[in-house]
């Protein structure tokens, strides 16, 4: 079966948010793109951290640091 004959995809938009789920979905998007000869457009949007008081700031920093490390682990940074 040649997927490019059954589903004429030209481009696949692949959103990445740094979560394990998005990286798992990316693997499927890559497989589909290879089978259909489609171009992958990777989109990553970052939400600015909300304003927090001094006591909670440490938690926000930890969360965003973990997310950045996860992105580096999966090669999603420039």
Q: Where are the alpha helices (DSSP H) in the chain?
A: 3-6, 20-36, 54-73
Beta bridge partners of 39: 11
CA distance 47 to 19: 14
**Which of the four pLDDT bands, split at 50, 70 and 90, describes residue 74?**
confident
pTM: 0.53
pLDDT confidence of residue 38: 94
- Does the pLDDT at position 75 exceed 60? yes
Share of the chain above pLDDT 70, in %: 74
**Spans of all domains in the chain:** 3-73
CA distance 67 to 3: 34
pLDDT in tens, 40-57: 999 887 776 666 676 667
- Does the pLDDT at position 62 exceed 70? yes
């Amino acid at each position: 079966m040649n997927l490019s004959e059954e589903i004429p995809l030209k481009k696949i938009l692949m959103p990445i948010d740094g979560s394990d789920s998005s990286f798992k979905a990316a693997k499927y998007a890559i497989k589909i793109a290879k089978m259909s000869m489609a171009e992958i457009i990777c989109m990553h949007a970052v939400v600015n951290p909300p304003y927090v008081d001094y006591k909670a700031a440490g938690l926000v920093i930890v969360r965003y640091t973990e997310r950045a490390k996860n992105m580096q682990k999966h090669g999603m940074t420039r």
